[in-house]
A = this chain, B = another copy of it.
Amino acid sequence: MTRASSRFLTAHAADLPDTIPFVGPEALQRVRGSPFRARLGANESGFGPAPSASAAMRVAVDGNWMYADPESHELREAIAVFLGTGVGNVVVGEGIDGLLGLTCALVLARGDTVVTSDGAYPTFNFHVTGHAGRLVKVPYRDDKEDLAALLDAARAENAKVLYVSNPDNPMGSWWSASEIEALIADLPPTTLLLLDEAYCDTAPAGTLSPIDMENPQVLRYRTFSKAYGMAGARIGYCVGEAGLIAAFDKVRNHYGINRVGQIGALAALQDQDYLTHAVGLISRARTRITRVAADNGLAALPSATNFVAIDCGRDAAFARRILEETLARDVFIRMPGTAPLNRCIRVTAGMDAEVELFAEVLPLAMRAAHG
């Protein structure tokens, strides 16, 4: 930041850190000077969108001279039918990331407390910090978000917001619907629960608690970026009580949704057969990654997501060496950023060829990391 430019920033903006949550694989490739051969780091789905959704998107290109409907009405209506809610219970945004930022804009005054898990989604933390919230981080317990401790912290710290992801990222763990229902029932009345369900589509039956449209204490976030396989489309949505959902209209970029993505998401939602098929492929890839880990003497964690966290069995430095040796062999993966989660690497349940490349590279990376 130059002195000259910073005079226009607010004191708060000037103080914000320059660090960003996730450097993209494209930036890594630019530094390396060569492309990755496998892209298994961003929890995208290489199985892609439904062919019906891709076809709809190709057709939609012809209408790209027009803005998309700023109310995303047809998509919201379809989501509402799918979930059994009203259209007024749904707001569409530029991915869950965008919606989390808007949520912070709506509910966080300077210094308001936000409770999250230590090592949970860094992009959420980025938005909390951006909106001058105060983060309180609760350790994971047995590689799961610790619901009881999160609730205790929310009470003790008088939290305005509690963030929980189910299933979680980066560990792939999950809680049952009844455990989430108990959490909701026990929320302090002044705490808003943000329930990030980005990975819900790959979770076992019994994971998703029912949606209570009348409860103004819970906002739930879902996306077309993961199991639906259309991360590039940037379509996520938030579901909640109608009054709170309506408030997003006060701050959102009304014309921020791209037309091709909006139309593609509608088609994708309407092709649940394909989603079932894709979830099957993801599940198979998870099993394969788990076996690859075992073949190398490592323990894969159980996963309800489209990725697998692999416990490398030693410290963060060792996991980082494996990560770097894997990247050096042209396979893009990531690792958690916080202890003790950072004894793991995280591998996306992607396409067969890419997972097989990981299987090929891992033993070499481990040997190099040991050596």
Interface residues, chain A, with chain B CB atoms under 8 Å away: 1-2, 4-13, 16-18, 20-22, 24, 26-27, 30, 39, 42, 44-49, 54, 57-58, 60-71, 73, 94-95, 97-98, 101, 105-109, 123, 130, 160, 190, 192, 216-217, 225, 229-234, 241-244, 246-247, 249-251, 253-261, 264
Contacts and interface: CB of A to CB of B under 8 A. Distances in A.
Given A249-B18, A254-B20, A65 B94 contact: no
Given A10-B109, A94-B256, A242-B2, A250 B67 contact: no
A5 B61 contact: no
12 contacts: A5-B242, A5-B243, A13-B250, A22-B70, A24-B67, A27-B69, A95-B253, A95-B256, A97-B254, A98-B256, A101-B253, A232-B258
B264 A64 contact: yes
Given A22-B70, A24-B67, A97 B255 contact: yes
A263 to B, nearest CB: 9
Given A9-B107, A65-B48, A230-B65, A71 B260 contact: no
Report copies per complex.
Answer: 2
A177 to B, nearest CB: 24
A320 B260 CA distance: 33
A217 to B, nearest CB: 8
A188 to B, nearest CB: 12
A191 B64 CA distance: 37
Contact of A13 (B26, B64, B107): B107
Contacts of A54: 61-62, 64
A370 B197 CA distance: 57
B49 A64 contact: yes
A259 B255 CA distance: 17
Nearest to A61: B57
Contact of A58 (B8, B16, B61, B106): B61
Nearest to A26: B69
Contacts of A243: 1-2, 4-6
A46 B71 contact: no
